[in-house]
Amino acid sequence: MGKISKQYKTIQFQNLRRKHYFEGWYYKQVSADEKTVLCFIPGVSVSGGKKSCFIQVILAEKTDADWQQTTDWLDITEFDAQDELFFIQLDGSRFYRNGLSVAVRGSRIQIFGELRFHGLIALPASPWAPTVMGPFSYLPGMECIHSVISLSHSIEGALKIGDRDVDFTGGKGYIEKDWGSSFPKRYVWLQSNHFSGDTSLFFSWADIPVLGMSFQGYLAHLYLRGKHYRYATYTRGRCELQTSGREVEITLTNHQSELRISAEQAAGAELRAPHRGRMVDTIKERLYGKLKFCLKEFGESDTLCETTETAGVELVMTKGERRG
């Protein structure tokens, strides 16, 4: 295989030696008819040197014009990880780079079956920006480290969800990952690959503490018509962000273009999030938010705009209840 890139390695179990630590993978899959959105979050939580493992599940289902979203949490007794070929195993469920096999017996959600992923779209990498974190990926001790594994991929296979068989063949998936000690105090996260063609958009903004100081950092990546557009703190562009209730407006620039993003979050379902390694914070995420972007390349007369209502949206400007 030759030299394996830093970006390629980020999906592996990092298992950093910290007293307070978390590591979580985010596998989001959407059926071809966009009526079933399913997200698995397998992870590890370490507090005071004591490790526990879990799978968090988010299920959104559309009937007629209405959405219903359910979340569930499974405490896991057995965990195993392998670098190559990558997998993590949590009790009877396995997660790979190119698929997953699940046996989820939750109190609210039961899911069984296997999905395979094809045509994963990875981010471009360079020595300056080996991952989406750019040069910050070389900085040790960050509170939260982020990686995008697959901007988009096609799905093959079906899952039994409750008493229904749901075919995901022809649908689209997305994989990302976080690890560190805590989620940021304030952050915005948006993601969708349900625009025309293979178009995919990811955006993250957060308060970032580093070396006793704090700054507001941002990451955005648009994949459009086979071309990658990166906007980030380290690209020396501009980010203007305004939030109001469940809505956010964002303007981003880099040396070649301007990207405007607007998003709206429906009433979110509760998820657990890490604080000093423990999964004790409460946040809200909706898997069917509204998301629009408009791209204007400098020197061009046209502006391209696209809209979707199949977007992940998290607006965390004040943290929710802590569980203990």
Give the model confidence (pLDDT) of 239-296 as tens digits.
999 999 899 999 999 999 999 999 998 776 789 999 999 999 998 888 889 999 999 9
For residue 322, pLDDT over 80 is answered with: no
Domain ranges of the chain: 21-316
Query: Which residues touch 276 (CB under 8 Å, ≥6 apart)?
Result: 20, 47, 181, 182
Give tens-digit pLDDT for 177-230: 999 999 999 999 999 999 998 999 999 999 998 777 788 999 999 999 999 999
Could you give the CA distance from residue 183 to residue 294 in angstroms, rounded to a whole number? 29
3-state secondary structure of 237: coil
Cis omega before residue 85 (within 30°)? yes
CA distances from 87 to 29, 33, 44, 95, 97 (A): 18, 29, 14, 5, 7
For residue 1, pLDDT over 60 is answered with: no
Instruction: Find the length of the chain.
Output: 324
Q: How far apart are the first and last CA of the chain?
A: 46
Could you give the CA distance from residue 75 to residue 117 in angstroms, rounded to a whole number? 26
pLDDT the model gives residue 214: 82
Residue 304 near residue 28 (C-beta atoms within 8 A): no
